[in-house]
Homo-oligomer: A and B are copies of this chain.
């Protein structure tokens, strides 16, 4: 259930790496790929997507590479996933026609949308800076992540 695509997974790994190495200037796609043993060409394409979305800045040429466009503290996991996997959402009702086949008959559409929003809130509360140093169950953790209440 609720599978996150591998591309998004790779994207988050790369983001985290770039956040850690932010002092060393730009990092090439090849370097990141080798550091984690993931297909270089695939990661390159992912980074391009992220760059087009404005999350990364790219610099071509020798000693070029990618760097974070904003501070690691200011990039949410939700943005990353949305940039890579597109605005797909939990309601599978998005067919090619743009709308669900069961336009009026589906009765659980609205409750699921609420759930969807909650998950969105949850992911928006997670920033890449949080991935670097996993804050254990400290009081600050609840504050950092935020509280998500699900109301049907």
Contact = CB atoms under 8 A, between A and B. Distances in A.
Chain A: interface size category: 35 or more
Nearest to A95: B6
B1 A88 contact: yes
How many chain copies?
2
Contacts of A60: none
B150 A3 contact: no
Nearest to A38: B102
A36 B105 contact: yes
A92 interface: yes
Interface stretch (A47-55, A61-69, A139-147): A139-147
B4 A92 contact: yes
A152 B138 CA distance: 9
